[in-house]
């Protein structure tokens, strides 16, 4: 990584969402170039204008990450910005539905968006990332450590992304590319339906703002940790879940009537 005050040549997926936009705004001053990726062209253009006014060199790539043609355009954009040394796989979708009610399409779309697409993007961009000291940061979730009722497919995708991140990190440990996993807890963005927001409030689940999450992301970016979980209570719960899963089972079983009330709403 170069030692200027703008060390990053970055690609950020899901840049128009709650967390993505907040990361873009905080990251941009440290980028010599930044590629914003999302599906909403108008929002991408607006964000690009906002950042260009702050003298950041921004390109946008609008399209569905699950389409091959989008990654082809993304690679063209990477070549145009003279490389990449930071890939942030942030785009994602969620689904709060009992497993039996999830359609085959629900499950496929979720795994494609949250797991397969980021893996393919890593594969396609690795030859470019390997040209200099680089980072891949996969945005996971506390639900990448903790199975939770109603989120079976989402949890599967984020557990999978964490397993992928750990394996790839070890596989690339003798190269100049580091692979890291950043796990927010509940955050106030539109990925969470009203139903989920109301359930979180009743379960007394704490929620962060996207700005706070982006601030923690920036601290993580400049640290050496391979992963970061947000929230002390959530991190403790994950710790307990690893050591004594039966205790977590009982605690979550106690919450099941509330969770089921919202699943059936």
Q: Is 154 a catalytic residue?
A: yes
Residue ranges in contact with ligand NAP by CB under 6 A: 14, 16-20, 38-40, 64-66, 90-93, 113, 139, 141, 184, 186-187, 189-192
Given the structure tokens 């399409």, which residue do they identify?
105
Residue nearest to ligand NAP (CB): 17
Please report how close the Cβ of residue 228 comes to ligand NAP at its closest, in angstroms.
12
Instruction: Given the residues 8, 145, 154, 262, select the one marked as catalytic.
Output: 154
For ligand NAP, give the closer residue by CB, 92 or 160.
92
For ligand NAP, give the closer residue by CB, 6 or 39.
39
Phi, psi of 245 (to 5 degrees): -60, -30
Please report how close the Cβ of residue 48 comes to ligand NAP at its closest, in angstroms.
14
Please report how close the Cβ of residue 199 comes to ligand NAP at its closest, in angstroms.
12
Q: How many CB atoms lie within 10 A of CB 202?
A: 13
Mark out the alpha helices in 203-231 (DSSP H runs).
210-221
Q: Which two tokens stand for residue 30?
A: 């440290």
- Using alpha carbons, select from 27, 23, 53, 26 the residue that is nearest to residue 38: 23
Please report how close the Cβ of residue 18 comes to ligand NAP at its closest, in angstroms.
4
Distance of alpha carbon 166 from the chain centroid:
15
For ligand NAP, give the closer residue by CB, 9 or 158.
158
Phi, psi of 22 (to 5 degrees): -65, -40
Q: Which sequence positions are flagged as catalytic?
A: 154
């Amino acid at each position: 990584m170069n030692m200027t005050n703008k060390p990053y040549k970055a690609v950020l997926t899901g840049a128009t969402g709650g967390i993505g936009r907040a990361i873009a705004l905080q990251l941009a001053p440290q980028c010599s170039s930044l590629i914003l990726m999302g599906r909403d062209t108008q929002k991408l253009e607006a964000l690009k204008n906002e950042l260009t006014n702050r003298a950041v060199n921004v390109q946008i790539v609008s399209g569905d990450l699950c389409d091959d043609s989008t990654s082809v355009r993304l690679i063209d954009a990477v070549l145009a910005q003279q490389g990449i040394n930071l890939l942030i796989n942030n785009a994602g979708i969620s689904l709060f539905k009992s497993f039996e009610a999830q359609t085959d399409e629900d499950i496929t779309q979720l795994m494609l968006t949250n797991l397969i697409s980021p893996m393919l993007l890593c594969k396609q961009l690795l030859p470019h990332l390997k040209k200099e000291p680089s980072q891949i940061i996969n945005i996971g979730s506390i639900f990448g450590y903790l199975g939770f009722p109603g989120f079976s497919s989402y949890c599967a995708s984020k557990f999978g992304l964490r397993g992928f991140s750990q394996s790839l990190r070890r596989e690339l440990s003798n190269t100049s590319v580091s692979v890291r996993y950043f796990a927010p807890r509940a955050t106030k963005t539109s990925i969470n339906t009203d139903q989920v927001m109301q359930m979180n409030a009743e379960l007394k689940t704490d929620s962060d703002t996207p700005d706070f999450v982006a601030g923690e992301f920036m601290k993580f970016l400049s640290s050496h940790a391979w992963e970061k979980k947000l929230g002390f209570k959530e991190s403790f719960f994950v710790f307990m879940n690893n050591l004594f899963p039966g205790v977590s089972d009982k605690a979550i079983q106690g919450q099941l009537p509330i969770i089921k009330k919202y699943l059936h709403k």
